[in-house]
Amino acid sequence: MLLVNTIRENYDTVLTGLKKRNLPNAESILAKVLELDQSRKDTQNQRDTLQAESNAISKQIGMLMKEGKTAEVEQIKARTTEIKEQIKTLEESFAQIEESLKQLLYTVPNVPHVSVPFGKSAEDNEIVLQNGTIPTLPEGKLPHWELIKKLDIIDFELGVKITGAGFPVYKGKGARLQRALINFFLDEALKAGYTEIQPPILVNEDSGYGTGQLPDKEGQMYEATVDRLFLIPTAEVPITNIYRDVILNESDFPIKNVGYTPCFRREAGSWGAHVRGLNRLHQFDKVEIVHISHPEVSYQALEEMSLYVQGLLQKLELPYRVLRLCGGDMGFTSALTYDMEVFSAAQERWLEVSSVSNFESYQANRLKLRYRNADKKTQLAHTLNGSALALPRIVAAILENNQTESGIKMPEVLIPYLGFDEI
């Protein structure tokens, strides 16, 4: 959530950033924010003025009582009663204005970093780099959804029977490949200095608001309605909320957490080959990295996270590219996002497997996540997160890119986890 002072003091920068996001009516929204903030300040000033008058009258009553001037006391008491009613009305008005301002700010996305390109969709994203060799597959190459059916390692129809579309059942070597990837990703994170967290996969409403999934993505989340709990779309939500309402010391930085969880997304909408098989699921496994950073070095942390994720893709021997997302394709809470895409040789297209983002202080403001600086003053921390990695499209790319006439070769780095080198 943006700070009102940031909007007021950097109005032109904020407005330009929101226009980069193609936010309709950006000017009128910011004008309403500033109007509500001014109303809040005016109401608070009126309340403070009346309270000061009430305090002065109380002292005056005490003096008059000592002097025995009871008649004058009764006259003044009438004013005290009137002031109390006025203060009560102002406090109610203040609470209403503050709630209206908060709800309005919830609808305003983060301001993009200056390096974020203008654009409306994924077609406008900027390719930062490309790495690896795109494999040449044998004649008769198959997309992963045909490979897994032929090898009987993932069953989509069984998932439909048990739950519904988008909830596959992993079997045999398919299940072992999932487990191998999860353990490999976690072990690599531990080597890189991350602390492993095993968080709940249900979160409450406060947690959803804290990281920005609510109210923006409420329609994309599965909800346990009786208890008003939400199945997590990513481990980012529970892990980052560990630090909600926390005041850190500068010596605590950097905080680096990693967690494996199943993730749940309704992903309503599109159909076709581009979302077929493992390309888009309602339930999937993911290892997530979360950084809590000092503001001065958060972009250095973002670059380190990007390089770390690239290192995982290199070890898996997958050709990949890095994109800097344009304003129109970025997540609601992000200031800058890098997407990592692997090349799917059978589908002959790029598949997103990771997003690494810096949220600057946007989430921290919602979370009230602060730190004490050298002057013992509190400031908002910066939060970052990234997929390291999401499994479905990684599995799809491994299966497709490594297919041979005899079977599917496994990446060398996974063999110690798998216990086999080929499916």
**Residue 273 has what pLDDT?**
56
Residues 328 and 407 in one domain: yes
135 with 164, same domain? yes
Q: Are 29 and 99 in a shared domain? A: yes
Say how far residue 2 (Cα) sits from the centre of its chain: 15
Q: Cα(395)–Cα(377) distance, rounded to whole angstroms?
A: 47
Per-residue pLDDT tens for 166-202? 999 999 999 999 999 999 999 999 999 999 999 999 9
Q: Is residue 423 in some structural domain?
A: no
Q: Which one of 77, 106, 135 terminates a domain? A: 106
CATH code for the domain in which residue 78 is found:
1.10.287.40
Whether residue 46 is contained in a domain is answered as yes
Among the ranges given (24-33, 203-212, 216-225), the one the predictor scored with the smallest mean pLDDT: 216-225
88 within some domain: yes
The one-letter amino acid at 290: V
Q: Are residues 261 and 351 in the same domain?
A: yes
DSSP state string for 206-261? HHHHHHT-TTTTGGGS-EETTTTEEE-SSTHHHHHHTTTT-EEEGGGPPEEEEEEE
Q: Decide which of 106, 132, 153 is a domain's last residue.
A: 106
Q: Are residues 296 and 404 in the same domain?
A: yes
Pick from 216, 307, 200, 319: which is nearest to 262 by CA? 200
For residue 274, what pLDDT band results from cuts at 50, 70 and 90?
low
**182 Cβ neighbours under 8 A, 6+ residues apart:** 260, 285, 287, 391
Q: Does 293 lie in the same domain as 378?
A: yes
- Residue 332: CA atoms inside 13 Å, Cβ hemisphere, count? 17
- How many folded domains does the chain comprise? 2
Is 116 a domain residue? no
Which pLDDT band holds residue 270 (cuts at 50, 70, 90)? Answer: low
223 and 91 housed in the same domain: no
pLDDT at 269 > cutoff 60: no
Are residue 213 and residue 320 in the same domain, yes or no?
A: yes
The answer as to whether 112 is a domain residue is: no
Residue 282: pLDDT band (50, 70, 90) is very high
The answer to whether 282 and 164 have CB atoms below 8 angstroms apart is: yes
What is the C-alpha to C-alpha distance for residues 342 and 354, in angstroms, rounded to an integer?
9
The pTM for the full model equals: 0.92
Domain final position from 106, 130, 158: 106
Q: Specify whether 84 is located in the same domain as 137.
A: no
